[in-house]
Amino acid sequence: DADVTQTPRNRITKTGKRIMLECSQTKGHDRMYWYRQDPGLGLRLIYYSFDVKDINKGEISDGYSVSRQAQAKFSLSLESAIPNQTALYFCATSFPGYGYTFGSGTRLTVV
Amino acid sequence: GQQLNQSPQSMFIQEGEDVSMNCTSSSIFNTWLWYKQEPGEGPVLLIALYKAGELTSNGRLTAQFGITRKDSFLNISASIPSDVGIYFCAGLINYGGSQGNLIFGKGTKLSVKP
């Protein structure tokens, strides 16, 4: 099993719909992150959580919300999806001071 | 905020050639990391550097943490077709006792012609 699992891997949704992307990890890390990847723009941080009671906005949090249900689970929601939220979304985990471990990503298309 | 300038944006090389890419910043980092992303997958950590001046190898890959702590480079020797992908640098700043977040470069897309 993968250390960081994202579901679904691919999703097509309509404008205005609410959608949730899920992430679970078996690394035992306290820190979890959601990133968005667009061609030519690299990885941009949406939200991050340093433990179950800690949620922080990243660089591009508008239009997104998150929930840290447990140490191992961190979900990202788009309350009302819009086409410019079409992107690759990655979840990552880390131990303080070390590199991040990424999931395989969710390709989201909003039509 | 902190930014990483990664170059080149893309490279088209012949199999067997050596590759060099780098990242620079106006900020000082405590840790430099290099990731590779293959199509359809998330970034995978290649090399982590924790000390200024550190030179670390991982097979045909060599990376260095710049002495000023504001830059890092990654070299790939004798490239092969499976080196194809996007390479990202990332820097980490520690604020006192707490760790900041990773800052990513925009990536270098590597294409290798057999």
Distance from CA of A94 to the nearest CA of B (A): 10
* Closest in B42, B101, B104 to A103, CB measured: B42
Q: Is A67 on the interface with B (CB under 8 A)?
A: no
What mean pLDDT do residues B15-28 have? 95
**Closest-CA residue in chain A for B46?**
A99
The proportion of chain A whose per-residue pLDDT surpasses 70, expressed as a percent, equals 98
A39 touches chain B (CB under 8 A): no
pLDDT grade, residue B18 (50/70/90)? Answer: very high
CB pairs under 8 A between A and B: 50
Residue among A88, A100, A104 with most chain B CBs within 10 A, to mutate:
A100
Contact present, A105 and B37 (Cβ < 8 Å): no
Distance CA(B82)–CA(A63), nearest Å, equals 37
- Give the model's pLDDT for residue A55: 94
Contact check, Cβ <8 Å, B42/A97: no
A97 contacts in chain B (CB < 8 Å): 31, 92, 94, 99
User: Is pLDDT of B96 > 60?
Assistant: no
Distance (Å) of CA A69 to CA A76, A81, B47, B74: 11, 22, 32, 38
Interface test with A, best of B32, B36, B101, B103 (most A CBs within 10 A): B101
Contact between B48 and A42 using a beta-carbon 8 Å cutoff: no
Q: What is the pLDDT of residues B38-94, one digit of tens each?
A: 988 999 999 999 999 999 999 999 999 999 999 999 999 999 999 999 999 999 876
Query: Residue B106 and residue A40: Cβ atoms within 8 Å?
Result: yes
Q: Is B65 on the interface with A (CB under 8 A)?
A: no
Q: If we measure between CA atoms, which residue out of B2, B1, B26, B5 comes closest to residue B73? A: B5
Residue A53 DSSP symbol:
T
d(CA A103, CA B20): 27
Which residues touch B82 (CB under 8 Å, ≥6 apart)? none
pLDDT given for residue B8 in this prediction: 96
